[in-house]
Amino acid sequence: MPVAAPARGGPTPARHRAARPGGVSRAHIAALDGLRGFAVAAVLLFHAGHLPGGFLGVDLFFALSGFLITGLLLGEASERGQIALAAFWSRRARRLLPALCCVVVVTVVATWAWGSTEQLRFALDDMPWVGTQTVNWHYITEQIGYWNASDTRVFAHLWSIGVEWQFYLAWPLVVAVAARWRCGERIVASLAGVGALISLALTVSLGAAVDTTRAYEGTDTRGAALLLGALVAAAPVRNLVRRVPRRAADLVCLALGCGLAVAWAVTEGEKAPLLFQGGLFLHSATAAVLIVLMAQVPGTWAARIAGSHLPRGLGNLSYSLYLWHWPVYLLLLPRLSVLGDWGGTVVAIGVSLAAAALTKRFVEDPVRCRAGWARGRRGVIAVIAVALAGAALWAAVPEPVPGAGTVDVDQLR
C-alpha cells in the first residue's frame, strides 16, 4: 500500500540538495518517487490479473515509508535535539486522511448505486474498521482470507494503510527515545534490525498455516519491510553506502531492480513455496538496499531512470491511485468484459488515474499547500465534516439482505 511520502514541492531533478550529516536529506529525491510509481503499477497489474507477483509492490511501498519517515525523524532529532511527536502525527494525518475520507465516502455511495448486495453489506461492515485504521486486524480476527475473499470487499486493499498507520503510531516513539542518546542512530539501526528479524521469525511461524492471511496482513509480520527501510535510513548504513563508487552502485542497482522485476513476474501469491519462509523478507531487503543506494549515491543511471517523467508521475499520484483502483476495479471491470481482459484493464486504470488526479488536485495538494479552505481550523473542520458525512452515510444506508445477488468478479484474479 502505498502511503504518500512527505511532500516537498518544487521541481524534481534527481536530487535537489546534498544529504545533511545529521540525517537523511530532506531534499526531494525523484528516484524514490519513481520507485513508488513502479510499485503502484505492479499492484494495479496484479489486481487486474496480469502480474502474478505484483502484490510485492506493497513491500516496496513499506520499505520506502520506513526509510523516509525514519530519515525525517532522525533529521529532526539531529537539528533540534528532540522530535515533536504531536507535530509529526499531525502532519501525517493532514497528508493522508483527507484523501482517504473522500475515497471512502464516494466508494460507499458508488457501491450503493452500482455494487452488489454483498459488496455493499461488506463495505458497511468494514467501514468502521477503516476509520480506525485497523481493518487488517478486522480481516484477521474474522478470518477473511486475503487470497480468496477480497473480491467482495471494496476496502480489502486498505489493510496496508492500516499497517502503515500503526507503524506511524509506534515507531516514532521508539526513535524519539533512542535519539536522546549520543549514539541514537546506532540504537535505531540496531532496534530496526532486531525488529525485522523478529518479524521474519513470526512470518515463518505463522506462514505455515493453511490460511496465510494472518502472516500476510499482520502488522507484526509485515513490519519487517518497514523496519528494513528504517534500518537503511540510519547513519551506520547511510555512511557505508556513501562510500560505494557510482559505477558499482549502478551495477548493484541493476541487479537488484532485475531481481524485483523477476519476483513480480513469477511469484504466484500464497502458492509460492518460499514466500512466507523468507521470500517476503528477502524481497523487502532487496528493496531497502535499492532505496538507500538511489538516495545516497548521487548521479547513478538507475536513479535517473527511476526519476524519469513517467514513473515519477505515477509516484506522485500513487497514494490516491492506490486508494481508488480497487473500488474502481470491483465496480467497473465486470461491466467491461466485452472489451477483453486488457481492454477492460486499460479503461479501469484510466478511470483510476483520473480519479487520483482529481483527488490530488482538489484534496491532497490544497491541504499540503495550505490553500485557503485547508488552512488552520478551516482545514480541520473540512476533514471532520467529510468524516462525519461518512459516519452519517454509514448509519443511513440500510443493511442489505444477504444473498440478494452478487457481481461476478472472478476475472479480477
Question: pLDDT band at 5, cuts 50/70/90?
Answer: low
In a domain, 355, yes or no: yes
Around Cβ 77, how many Cβ atoms within 10 Å?
Answer: 21
Name 163's Cβ contacts closer than 8 Å, sequence gap at least 6.
1, 62, 136, 217, 219, 222, 223, 226
In a domain, 188, yes or no: yes
C-alpha cell at 130: 477503516
Residue type at position 149: A
**Residue 351 CA, distance from chain mean position:** 20
Q: How many domains does the chain have?
A: 1
**Does the pLDDT value for residue 11 go beyond 60?**
no
- pLDDT value, residue 296: 94
In a domain, 6, yes or no: no
d(CA 185, CA 244): 21
Share of the chain above pLDDT 90, in %: 68
Looking at 139-143, 195-199, 277-281, which range is the least confident one? 139-143
Question: pLDDT band at 401, cuts 50/70/90?
Answer: low
Distances (CA, A) of 322 to 64, 192, 278, 326, 412: 15, 27, 26, 7, 16
Torsion of CA 321, 322, 326, 329, to 10 degrees: 30
d(CA 33, CA 39): 10
In a domain, 71, yes or no: yes
Distances (CA, A) of 43 to 46, 130, 188, 376: 5, 20, 30, 35
Distances (CA, A) of 38 to 200, 211, 268, 290: 25, 29, 19, 13
Tell me what the pLDDT averaged over the chain comes to. 87
d(CA 297, CA 293): 6
In a domain, 14, yes or no: no
- pLDDT value, residue 182: 85
- pLDDT value, residue 24: 44
In a domain, 13, yes or no: no
d(CA 221, CA 190): 18
In a domain, 111, yes or no: yes
Q: By residue range, what is the domain housing residue 126?
A: 30-398
- pLDDT value, residue 70: 97
Residue range 23-36: mean pLDDT, rounded: 76
In a domain, 11, yes or no: no
Name 168's Cβ contacts closer than 8 Å, sequence gap at least 6.
69, 89, 92
